[in-house]
């Protein structure tokens, strides 16, 4: 997870997440279930983060969306999610989560994984849309170092280091330009 200087407005966060996940949904819809498990490469090379196929990428993105949705849900209950513990905030822990999330996705039938992705996308967007500007800017009632607003926490957990916030799938698919961010 990356540090965040300027917190995007909630409307922009919602728009980016929706467009980003729609990119992955549209890309996956172009292929049959059998084709989704075959090796997949972008023009720029492999997908990265242990993802060899589009199914792997869906599993990878949905795992992080589930974690990040839980971070926001727990913060709303004045609790710190396990992933905010410094022991999880290392490159090695991130690689282990990436590897295990992709491996778990490979155990699921493609249709169930795509269903899970759609449901989590909807839940995550519902969570983001539940905030107005005031609640987005309100401090999270959890001890964080540094202290963060709800929007700051969302952006922190939804930012791949060195890349635009809320654009996980587009980064892997090398389609940031389609979101107007390259």
Instruction: List CB contacts of 116: < 8 A, sequence separation 6 or more.
Output: 62, 108
Cα–Cα distance, 71 to 158 (Å, whole number): 10
For the chain, the maximum distance between any two Cα atoms, rounded to a whole number of angstroms, is 46
Long-range contacts of 142-147 (CB under 8 A, 24+ apart): 142/74, 142/75, 142/78, 142/79, 142/80, 142/84, 143/80, 144/80, 144/84
Q: Enter the CATH code of domain 10-179.
A: 1.20.120.450
Q: What is the pLDDT along the chain (182 residues), one digit of tens a residue?
A: 444 579 999 999 999 999 999 999 999 999 999 999 999 987 666 677 789 999 999 999 999 999 999 999 999 999 999 999 999 999 899 999 999 999 999 999 999 999 999 999 999 999 999 999 999 999 999 999 899 999 999 999 999 888 999 999 999 999 999 999 87
- Domain locations along the chain: 10-179
């Amino acid at each position: 997870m990356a540090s965040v200087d300027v917190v995007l407005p909630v409307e922009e966060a919602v728009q980016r997440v929706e467009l980003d996940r729609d990119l992955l949904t549209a890309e996956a819809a172009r292929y049959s279930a059998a084709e989704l498990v075959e090796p997949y490469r972008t023009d720029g090379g492999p997908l990265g983060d242990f993802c060899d196929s589009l199914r792997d990428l869906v599993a990878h993105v949905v795992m992080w969306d589930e974690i990040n949705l839980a971070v926001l849900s727990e913060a709303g209950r004045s609790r710190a999610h396990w992933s905010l513990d410094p022991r999880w905030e290392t490159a090695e822990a991130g690689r282990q989560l990436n590897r295990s999330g992709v491996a778990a996705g490979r155990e699921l039938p493609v249709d169930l994984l795509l269903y899970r992705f759609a449901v989590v996308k909807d839940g995550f967007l519902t969570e983001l849309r539940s905030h107005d500007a005031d609640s987005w800017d309100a401090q999270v009632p959890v001890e964080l170092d540094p202290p963060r607003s709800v929007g700051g926490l969302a952006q922190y957990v939804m930012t791949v280091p060195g890349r635009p916030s809320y654009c996980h799938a587009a980064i892997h698919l090398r389609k940031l330009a389609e979101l107007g961010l390259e």
